[in-house]
Structure 1
Amino acid sequence: MKLNDYFRIHFDNPDVLEESFAKRPLTLSLDLQKELYQIQEDSDELNMAYFEKVYQKSLALFEDLFQEDDRLYLIVRVRKELQSPPAKSTEIFERYLKNNKNRYALEFEKKAVRDEEEVIYQYARLLPSRQSIRYKKLLQAICNQDFPELYPRFKARQTYYPEIFFVNPAKDIILYIFDDRGCFILLNEKETFYRLHEKYKSDQSEGFLNCFDTQ
């Protein structure tokens, strides 16, 4: 099944990744670390204890939502200004997939951003399991993207950093870790939402309203 067909059938919208996640029903917003800060107190130095906690939390979330034998989509979206050269989004697959010989397995889509002078290049690939990805390094790169001192990190070739999404098509779960601060988990089934809401309640972002139908 093509990715857009999957989103249309299971999330009622082929453009679900372009929605405001904070306003979508059955969505969780989680902080990756609440107790520590990025910078050490009374210093300009990075607080590596903070980043270690962030790495651990993002890894625990990923391995909980994507079990060893679960298939998953890896989706990379890059925003560019309309007049800029075409975006190269495939480098994420080249660097973080263990076997990327079959480039033709990638689904590609180019989308103009409504009411903005931008375009989105989207690549997606359905993988047999999480073991196909060097996911520990990929998660760290996502969390490190705003800190040039840290490695691994995405190459700064684009106007924006790439947006990385993980989709579990068997469980209808979308995980979007936007940076070191936190993530969204999108769901389409209330039972799973309530279960994860309870499981991760201590990590949920303050002030985030879960706008879902409770009836």
Structure 2
Amino acid sequence: MHILAIDTATAATSVAVVDSGGSVRCESQVIDARRHAEAIAPLIRDVLAEARVDASAIDLVACGVGPGPFTGLRVGIATGVAIAEGRGIPVVGACSLDVIARRAVRDYPGSATVLTRARRAELCWAAYDEHAQRLAGPLIRSENDLDIHGTAVGDAGPVDVVMYPQALDLADLVAERLAGGETLPGSVELPEEGARESGAATADILHDRVRRGLLLLPARPLYLRRPDAVVPASMGGGA
């Protein structure tokens, strides 16, 4: 099975192609928080070429679903969903903090705390044990309200090591969970994009799966805040 993995939840745009047998492992990454949209298509093209894998051979698309800043996060997810829908293949999401944690505990044995940029002087936070199993989070925390367990990694706040989610780790996480019997979340009923209350309802569904320890998520952005904007009552937003 060939997996195309994409993550744009941080300043990094990361793309990888792997096969479940391990014979194909190609990855490319650009770190620039303002160039996700410009970088993603060339990265996909170049990684497929390096791997000598035709786009028609991709069996599954995996997307990092954040948490992360709105614009960059949606670039990767929208691209992954479009590729999957165009080819009629499954698409699955995974928490980008979980992806970082895999590399953190491998490179720096022991527990880890992952911190990424959430804007508004806040951070996305999650804590992990030495096996990259999530102990708490993901949550939004202020820099003055952080519990640090083990090595702090990520791209914001008081980190010991700067680290971004890498698409190879995302692909490995998805492949391992599928091999272990976790099913794709294709049966999860999600509200239509743009429907009233769809953002809040989708967030509740994603958060429920995260709380239950399920690592494979629908390919929708994992936001940790409720939307700031609300529909005015005069436009049908209700009382």
Q: Which structure has the higher relative contact order (CA within 8 Å, separation 6+)?
A: 1
TM-score, length of structure 1 as denominator length:
0.24
